[in-house]
Structure 1
């Protein structure tokens, strides 16, 4: 495995249209391959602009946003973009999206890409989430039906973090429900050279 790529430089860029749009987003720099760098940065910008459109940006809506880098090691970048929009009423709404990317080959990972082929990773993850819901006594709005094929996730060091949007699982006041799954609880299911499997080296 080629591990010559050092942790990636992250530049903060601002998308601003006063007075109602003020969004910061990450830009990758210093990659070995400039074509991959450009493609990944385009993917980040596409996610951010899609989020703004989803929040129906117009003259009545104010959107502020930022990002967090969750992982920047072993050629894997995992990040979140979060935007808060307000159009009047009691409170606004925040949405969050994430990207997990390989800076060596330019791959954008889906949740399925982290696991060996033909393993029932969803069943294991559902069991671990259900256990956390019970242990944390979360006031779920509806019975937990399990994760979806395009479940929101990011990688944070030696953990897989699955999360749900506001109102999707718990009341608004509880914020985003995050479920931290230790690499060691699912290690037998992981691709050794996958985005999460790499974190065990």
Structure 2
């Protein structure tokens, strides 16, 4: 009887284990980012590549988006072409980075361009600012007001009136998760002011 009881208990435990829900795969909290290099004639590119994500499709999507930014500047006519990157936020399932491209084609100085990329590490989705700080319900007005206040405080002479961020502004997430909106050279102010960056006073998620 004892042997039979043990057998029944064992079968019952196996059945319960089989019926128990399988734990969901752990979502990646942070990404592993490695540096890729491209040296070809005038090109001196260092750009990021994400490796080791549990979802290969998400990883491929992220790296493809990075590759498109590289391709955007790789074939432009220039005497000097450089690319560098900086990881701005890497945690809580989000990766945000900037890629900076410098092109010199003669003249007094070259031109620098910055691109911001923010990704969901679980899906590979690339976020726009409105995905993280919805424009509805006065969100966009708050962003515009925050930038206008910083322009006034920093006393930056504008080439044109600041009329707002537009539908898809350049941005990245800072280490604390807050969005930073930025504007390209000459977009708001003279070359000497560089790429203007404006941290927003609220979290982006």
Fold conserved (TM > 0.5)? yes
Q: Return the match for 2:105 from 65, 81, 87.
A: 87
Note closer, same or farther for the CA distance 1:31–1:141 as it changes in structure 2 (3 Å cut): same
1:154 aligns to 2:177 (yes or no): no
Structure 1 residues 3 and 72 mapped into 2: Cα distance closer, same or farther (>3 Å)?
A: farther
DSSP-derived class of the 2:159 partner: coil
Q: Contact 1:3 / 1:75 at 8 angstroms: preserved in 2? A: no
Alignment of 1:75 onto 2:93: yes
- Alignment partner of 2:62 out of 23, 33, 40: 40
Q: Residues 150 and 198 of structure 2 are in contact (CA less than 8 Å); yes or no, is this contact kept in structure 1?
A: yes
> Separation in 1 of the partners of 2:96 and 2:26?
17
Render the CA deviation track for 1:109-133: whole Å, top value 9, x for unaligned.
Answer: 0111113473232211111111111
2:134 and 2:140 in contact (8 A); partners too? no
Partner SS, residue 146 of structure 1:
coil
* More helix per residue: 2
Contact 1:61 1:87 (C-alpha < 8 Å) held by counterparts:
yes
Superposition pairs of residues 3-152 of structure 1, within 5 angstroms:
4-18=27-41, 20-53=42-75, 56-57=76-77, 60-116=78-134, 118-152=136-170
Q: Matched residues in 1 for 2:124 and 2:84: separation?
A: 23
2:8 is matched with none
Q: Structure 1: which 5+ runs fail to align?
A: 188-195
Displacement of 1:89 in angstroms is 0.7
The structure with the larger Rg is: 2
TM-score (norm 2): 0.83
Structure 2's unaligned 5+ residue stretches are 1-23
Q: How many residues align?
A: 181
Distance in 2 separating the partners of 1:31 and 1:144: 40
| Superposed displacement of residue 182, structure 1 | 2.3
After TM superposition, give the deviation of residue 139 of structure 1 in Å.
1.3
CA 1:116–1:150: 2 relative to 1, 3 Å = closer
What is the TM-score when the length of structure 1 is the normalising length? Answer: 0.84
